[in-house]
C-alpha cells in the first residue's frame, strides 16, 4: 500500500496482502518517520514489528523481505564539501 505507515498496515494487512502469499516485500524506510530515541522501542517501531510478526505467521510461512530505500533528496553532503 503506497504512502501508508506501518501502523496502518499492521491493522489492515489482511485486506491488502493475500494469506496465500509466498513472498512479501516490506518497505517503510521512507513513510515511517525517523524517531531518535529509544530506537527500537517507540511508537513508530512497535507497529512495524507487529506487522512483521503477523506476516511471518501467515499459513504458507512466506519469505518476508525487508527493502530499504535511499532517499536522495534527504541526503546530506559531507562536511568537507
Tens of pLDDT along 3-30? 777 887 888 888 889 999 999 998 877 6
**Stretch 66-70: mean pLDDT:** 81
Residue 56: is its pLDDT beyond 90? Answer: yes
pTM beyond 0.85: the answer is no
Q: What is residue 74's predicted lDDT score, i.e. its pLDDT?
A: 62
Whole-Å CA distances, 62 to 11, 16, 55, 65? 19, 15, 8, 9
Say if strands 63-66 and 23-26 run parallel, antiparallel, or are unpaired. parallel
Residue 81 has pLDDT above 60, yes or no: no
Pairwise pLDDT comparison (73 vs 47), residue with the higher score: 47
Amino acid at each position: 500500500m503506497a504512502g501508508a505507515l506501518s501502523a496502518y498496515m499492521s491493522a489492515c494487512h489482511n485486506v491488502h496482502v493475500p494469506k496465500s502469499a509466498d513472498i512479501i516485500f516490506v518497505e517503510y524506510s521512507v513513510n515511517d518517520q525517523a524517531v531518535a530515541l529509544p530506537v527500537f522501542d517507540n511508537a513508530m517501531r512497535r507497529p512495524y514489528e507487529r506487522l512483521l510478526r503477523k506476516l511471518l505467521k501467515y499459513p504458507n510461512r512466506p519469505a518476508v523481505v525487508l527493502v530499504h530505500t535511499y532517499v536522495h533528496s534527504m541526503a546530506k553532503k559531507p562536511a568537507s564539501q
